[in-house]
Structure 1
């Protein structure tokens, strides 16, 4: 029996007959219901990665679902077939055009019939097996990610009867079908257009729709209901100013109009920074307020309708001294300022200082600034409502986007990107590359309405000229370049042409970063370096508004050899932790899940992905300048110096990063000038210990004991502490208690570490009770700053234990740990990180951690350069240290599985000191061999079978080699 047959037999036995059987769980039957992270999309992506042929037979397909799978299908090296239908007219011509655009995939259309084509089956053929997923999911974004579905994944050997049945069914579908061609789609489109379509459901956030409903029909969505309630609560508390932070496209204008309707002011003033925004704002307010046209007026240019109830004005007109003099400070009882992050400008300050409304509301998507202006201070730090991009996507307030990071043009091994001169930027070969990527990743089924962001205005102009001579999908392109030199009228005309379908693309640099509303934009092309995550998000946001007939936004980002490529995932994931591990994990998780917030996805081609990881490895995210900026941003938000718990709750900088940069947070505050008083030597050492060892929350046990002792300075009995751990759902056996005590009395640490931490215990155990040492209690009682910082570290560590880890204090598969973390969490007697050398059998704790650095650098000596390698997601070939034989004591303990084996891995040393925990393993097939290379030392080779397979994306991350450009 082959290895695959044995594995499949065990997996099917595990799945169908006996779940206690020890199986690899690679082929085991699984119910996929879009719950607990096990989505249909993830299942399909996983199977594509390990198959050589696939057949999908599904009734319904949407362009959005094709976009979710596109990068994986482009990367696919096998053959594929998709069978679908015209059943009920669900599949649009756009969907069929997107299918036809998939290279290397054969597509067939089953004829409509009275029986109805309603198949939902996915077949994947591997080298020695076949896997199928059959159930309820069509190939639509919601069926792949959100809907409650039931799909059964199962596997069989090639000669299994179910495989013959599946192939026979697929063959019958193909035999009855017609191959998809462009002519077939053209003919289908003529008849499909005549079929009745289901009515479009209107969104409550009407700012997101191209077609607005009749007056009197606007009602708040769930998010807006929450926001309106919070604004009113704030007013009821006597506050007269507030700022709303809401991502672009989430309906800020409608929200403000709804609040105006609730407030019912006698006079309202709406202030914008661009004149062209006014008319749309007026239209939306009219729909919400259901007031006569005579109530609305404009104050801009020659229009001076100051006598109207609702006045919409530009800041340029209002701030002129002669105009301000005409407006009495109490003219308006409600004032609204759009894009209020600009209010640091003198024109805004003049206006705000002059007016005295009963209520002032500001709206912005980007409150964090680089000009030292604190928008929160202007509004008395009142933020009743805040919804950022990720939350808005999850709430389905925005159009889903599919981001594709692709490598910029490569010539003679050199990437031609933004740093090149103009002639190379618009060279024929680079334009060819741009066209090829647009045809590959862009819309094939819907007319494109796109923005191209360039690095220079002359590049935009020349690129537009060249593109107007080129075609995409056989259609001659129509583009226009715009810059700050173009008048408002010229810009508005170009936008109108784009929305009406007279233009395909507008090429620009940065004039569309904000303050422009083009809901129909369905494609954003980025041909420039990402210099700011804020600007990246602004440009992405140009296409995130919902619009009638808009299925999704496509983002094509051309990635060059830029040192700051790491800003791309920071912007895409909204990750402001300044923690490389966090960002790296989000990239891997996005690849694993196939989607991020809501129905959106992030994809990189192989070279671009490596460029992102390389940029992340070489940057210094936690520089003092970055940390200080993040500190100031949160300080501005709060109106006070933030504590560590604030960084955790507001999900900004990782508290462990900012707390340990200067050994402890007190010292950091001294460094940035936020605190004049310096910590004493003892107090500083204690805080350095707490910050460096306990703050990360990887084990809550020590923190819980400290929290209890700070409230009970006379001491706590061991029994009471054990009961507390039990009540908290934590392990409370003797080894764990001994480990906790060793950490808190510093005997766990090396002599050098203990000296750094003050060389004195924090907690002592005497006569069956724990107590703080006297110096701690004295400092706690007499030093309020010390007390605040200790409390902050303990509270934050417990918060992270609950919200970042699973609270158990046990090793978690998929999490990252240092060697020291592992010594502590496995209850070792002391920190032996410096002597582990890849693995160590610890008889004190009866455990053996194994640390694998998958890609060893050139500096690694031959005697330690082992050829460890994953055979599959469940099995790793592993080698012991050199000069070891099967008779060596430590080797025998491992080979005979006398003690638990815990496997940890990282890709290379550029990742730092932490390793991913892969779980428990079992040693198998040990054999004596020689090391490769000159040394030829004895070594023992074996396979380590993991208790559960690692995620496919993590497996690929480890195994992937840097592509050669």
Structure 2
């Protein structure tokens, strides 16, 4: 490349990891002075090099590592007085049919609710101001084919499992497999609810076969574990599985019994009596007898635990409740934690609010970005964060200021009734039903309107940074 550029009258040099330090330093100085226009490098300049004057980057071959890709891109992102912009020319290489373009574009776009292929097909409309990505027609078609073929289908994952030992020196575990292939739990388990790491390793002839009575039923419920991120609950469940003891005669504290409730309703759809069980303990014992599948459940929970990036803590509600601040929970698990779903019954629940009179608490289930498909016109409420503490929330359309419910909300500080918020951005995430993030309790500040009533609540704990951008109406994209 350097020779071709020189032949074209563009002063250039080539450097590799074998080039001497003096040669590298001299090249950097000549580039800054404008004596040369391009430095073509191999396996260097990924990090630790600061040349703010760089205003053009050429990617000439696929970069397998997402980290290296971002480091290389970062060489040109430093600001400089004489630099108006950074031009990035990515020449699509075809040297590796499994090269993953999707990860690279996701890194550039950031987290959004649309798949990468939508942006490639329709344009990159949500990039920061001053940023632009243009794809040639053939490059666009090639990348779309690549994304489709590199998608995490069962067949592709089985192929990766078969080649894992040859590709790496690592033990084939769920953690190692996800890390090596830069996959999330959702990437691996998908939306079909018919995958387990254990069974797929057997199909890929990487593990011995096994037979367990409830493998199919447990496999369908593994997706319920993918978003579990409460340290306390994870440690409780892993402890039960690792002990591998019959729990029929174990005495649990009230809080532990509620966590047992939560675990039960992660794996079962109805109360014990409705599905031929005598108790929740019997249901848990039945799960524990499936050692391979329960070990996989442990692997999922341990993966979640090891990747936690926030601090959770107990919320003082005045009664036992094993839900922790800023953790994610499904509706079923929340109801089990409050004892509403229990050993005797699992009452129907489809409302966005629930009042527990015996506990003196109202809980609100809030979906921030509502679609006409999922919500009727009468339930498209205006719910959003005003700032880190204040939250605007609308009641159901039938609730008036004169109703018992409206008065209970308005006067809750006088009566000692508590209000707790559970919030999620979308109804679904990655094709699966989204969990709710527990924002803790809040206090009345003001209200306006009628049927529905608009409330402003002040949270007792700040909304976490990871959610404030999603919950603040003024910056939702």
The answer to whether 1:667 aligns with 2:202 is no
Partner of 1:18: none
- SS of the equivalent of 1:863 reads helix
Contact 1:513 1:542 in 2 (8 A): no
- SS of the equivalent of 2:240 reads helix
Map 1:741-820 onto structure 2 (within 5 A): 741-743=260-262, 749-751=268-270, 759=275, 765=281, 772-773=285-286, 780=289, 787-794=291-298, 796-798=300-302, 800-801=304-305, 804=308, 810-820=322-332
Deviation string, structure 1 residues 929-960 (Cα, Å, up to 9, x no partner)? 2xxxxxxxx21221111113325674344334
- SS of the equivalent of 1:666 reads helix
Deviation string, structure 1 residues 903-948 (Cα, Å, up to 9, x no partner)? 233444564523443332123323442xxxxxxxx21221111113
Partner of 1:439: none
Partner of 2:411: 896
Partner of 1:922: 443
- Name structure 1 gaps, 5 residues minimum: 1-456, 466-478, 546-553, 574-578, 582-603, 612-617, 723-731, 781-785, 930-937
More strand as a share of residues: 1
The answer to whether 1:864 aligns with 2:379 is yes
How far apart in 1 are the matches of 2:174 and 2:194? 14
How far apart in 1 are the matches of 2:226 and 2:470? 30
Larger radius of gyration: 1
How far apart in 1 are the matches of 2:312 and 2:277? 25
Contact 1:875 1:945 in 2 (8 A): yes
- SS of the equivalent of 1:534 reads coil
- SS of the equivalent of 2:194 reads coil
C-alpha spacing 1:494/1:647, structure 2 compared with 1 (3 Å): closer
How far apart in 2 are the matches of 1:819 and 1:644? 27
Deviation string, structure 1 residues 658-690 (Cα, Å, up to 9, x no partner)? 356534323333565545747556233235446
Contact 1:530 1:568 in 2 (8 A): no
How far apart in 1 are the matches of 2:405 and 2:160? 48
C-alpha spacing 1:519/1:689, structure 2 compared with 1 (3 Å): closer
Partner of 1:829: 341
Deviation string, structure 1 residues 673-732 (Cα, Å, up to 9, x no partner)? 545747556233235446634894532333323333x1x34x46433xx4xxxxxxxxx4
C-alpha spacing 1:497/1:813, structure 2 compared with 1 (3 Å): same
CA apart distance, 1:641 = 6.0
What is the TM-score with the length of structure 1 in the denominator? 0.34
Residue 457 of structure 2, aligned match among 932, 944, 948: 944
- SS of the equivalent of 2:456 reads strand
The answer to whether 1:905 aligns with 2:423 is yes
CA apart distance, 1:884 = 1.6
The answer to whether 1:503 aligns with 2:38 is no
Contact 1:869 1:878 in 2 (8 A): yes
Deviation string, structure 1 residues 527-556 (Cα, Å, up to 9, x no partner)? 6899966366445545989xxxxxxxx995
Map 1:464-483 onto structure 2 (within 5 A): 480=11
Partner of 1:605: 128
- SS of the equivalent of 2:238 reads helix
Residue 396 of structure 2, aligned match among 878, 881, 886: 881
Deviation string, structure 1 residues 107-150 (Cα, Å, up to 9, x no partner)? xxxxxxxxxxxxxxxxxxxxxxxxxxxxxxxxxxxxxxxxxxxx
Deviation string, structure 1 residues 582-615 (Cα, Å, up to 9, x no partner)? xxxxxxxxxxxxxxxxxxxxxx835869x9xxxx
CA apart distance, 1:892 = 3.7
C-alpha spacing 1:744/1:926, structure 2 compared with 1 (3 Å): same
How far apart in 1 are the matches of 2:364 and 2:60? 39
CA apart distance, 1:771 = 7.8
Partner of 1:644: 174
Deviation string, structure 1 residues 434-477 (Cα, Å, up to 9, x no partner)? xxxxxxxxxxxxxxxxxxxxxxx9xx99xx99xxxxxxxxxxxx
Residue 839 of structure 1, aligned match among 348, 353, 372: 353
Deviation string, structure 1 residues 550-597 (Cα, Å, up to 9, x no partner)? xxxx9957699xx96763565999xxxxx989xxxxxxxxxxxxxxxx
C-alpha spacing 1:665/1:702, structure 2 compared with 1 (3 Å): same
Partner of 1:706: 241
C-alpha spacing 1:696/1:956, structure 2 compared with 1 (3 Å): closer
C-alpha spacing 1:496/1:954, structure 2 compared with 1 (3 Å): same
The answer to whether 1:514 aligns with 2:43 is yes
What is the TM-score with the length of structure 2 in the denominator? 0.61
Contact 2:69 2:104 in 1 (8 A): no
CA apart distance, 1:746 = 5.3
How far apart in 1 are the matches of 2:297 and 2:378? 43
How far apart in 1 are the matches of 2:466 and 2:175? 32
- SS of the equivalent of 2:224 reads helix
Residue 365 of structure 2, aligned match among 842, 851, 855: 851
C-alpha spacing 1:832/1:626, structure 2 compared with 1 (3 Å): farther
Contact 2:265 2:333 in 1 (8 A): no
Contact 1:866 1:879 in 2 (8 A): yes
- SS of the equivalent of 1:924 reads strand
The answer to whether 1:658 aligns with 2:184 is no
Deviation string, structure 1 residues 138-171 (Cα, Å, up to 9, x no partner)? xxxxxxxxxxxxxxxxxxxxxxxxxxxxxxxxxx
C-alpha spacing 1:706/1:953, structure 2 compared with 1 (3 Å): closer
Contact 1:828 1:844 in 2 (8 A): no
Contact 2:228 2:328 in 1 (8 A): no
C-alpha spacing 1:858/1:495, structure 2 compared with 1 (3 Å): farther
Contact 1:852 1:904 in 2 (8 A): yes
Partner of 2:139: none
How far apart in 2 are the matches of 1:653 and 1:671? 20
CA apart distance, 1:863 = 1.4
- SS of the equivalent of 1:840 reads strand
How far apart in 2 are the matches of 1:851 and 1:530? 50
CA apart distance, 1:498 = 4.4
How far apart in 2 are the matches of 1:762 and 1:667? 30
Partner of 1:202: none
C-alpha spacing 1:519/1:531, structure 2 compared with 1 (3 Å): closer
How far apart in 1 are the matches of 2:60 and 2:109? 12
Aligned length: 401
- SS of the equivalent of 2:455 reads strand
Deviation string, structure 1 residues 16-51 (Cα, Å, up to 9, x no partner)? xxxxxxxxxxxxxxxxxxxxxxxxxxxxxxxxxxxx
Partner of 2:319: none
How far apart in 2 are the matches of 1:483 and 1:833? 71
